[in-house]
Amino acid sequence: MNTPTTQVVIELSTIIDDNGQMEYNKIQETGFLYKKGNLDVLTFEEIADDQTMIKNLITIQSNRVNIKRSGNISMNQQFQEKQTTENVVKHPYGSIHMETFTQSISYHPLQKAKSGSLTIAYTVRLNGQEERHQKIDLMMKEDMS
């Protein structure tokens, strides 16, 4: 089985609107993009604030996205347009139940000499608390270094 693999530079921005209290996070990492049929898989590692390694696996299909993180923080967050999904986030301080309602998913695959992008708008409710509006913006481009 031969799956096309491309080394990519990833810029991932997350915006959290917690009742008007805004939080912005941005990371830039190098990873790999695997394409198989109508499925794209993006893998990369990031260093957390506590200097531990977190592995990220993002599976992208036309109407659904799955973000799996493993390491000091582990989760398997699923996004399906106009649907609510649930998962448990595990970290050193305990577990958090997460309910995600996906409003929209927009994906533009990486093409030769053209950046790819993934945007997900959604709400999250942690342990039954008030929901927060969140947005993920992911840009990827071929790593030419």
Give 7-66 pLDDT, tens digit per residue.
999 999 999 998 899 999 999 999 999 998 889 999 999 988 788 899 999 999 988 999
Give the residue numbers spanning the domain of 18: 5-140
Task: Identify whether the C-beta of residue 37 lies closer than 8 Å to the C-beta of residue 65.
Answer: no
Question: Tell me, what's the pLDDT at 2?
Answer: 60
Question: Tell me, what's the pLDDT at 1?
Answer: 44
Q: Of 139, 106, 130, which Cα lies nearest the Cα of 16?
A: 130
The residue behind tokens 């992008």 is 117
Written as six digits, the tokens of 52 are: 């531990």
Q: Is 145 domain-assigned?
A: no
Q: Is 66 domain-assigned?
A: yes
Task: Identify whether the C-beta of residue 9 lies closer than 8 Å to the C-beta of residue 28.
Answer: yes
Distance of CA 141 to the CA centre of its chain: 16
Q: Is 30 domain-assigned?
A: yes
Lowest mean pLDDT among 2-11, 87-96, 101-110: 2-11
Q: Of 85, 121, 130, which Cα lies nearest the Cα of 103?
A: 121
Cα 78 to Cα 98: distance, rounded to the nearest angstrom: 10
CATH code for the domain of 108: 2.40.128.20
- Give the chain's domain count: 1
Written as six digits, the tokens of 35 are: 């394409």
pTM: 0.92
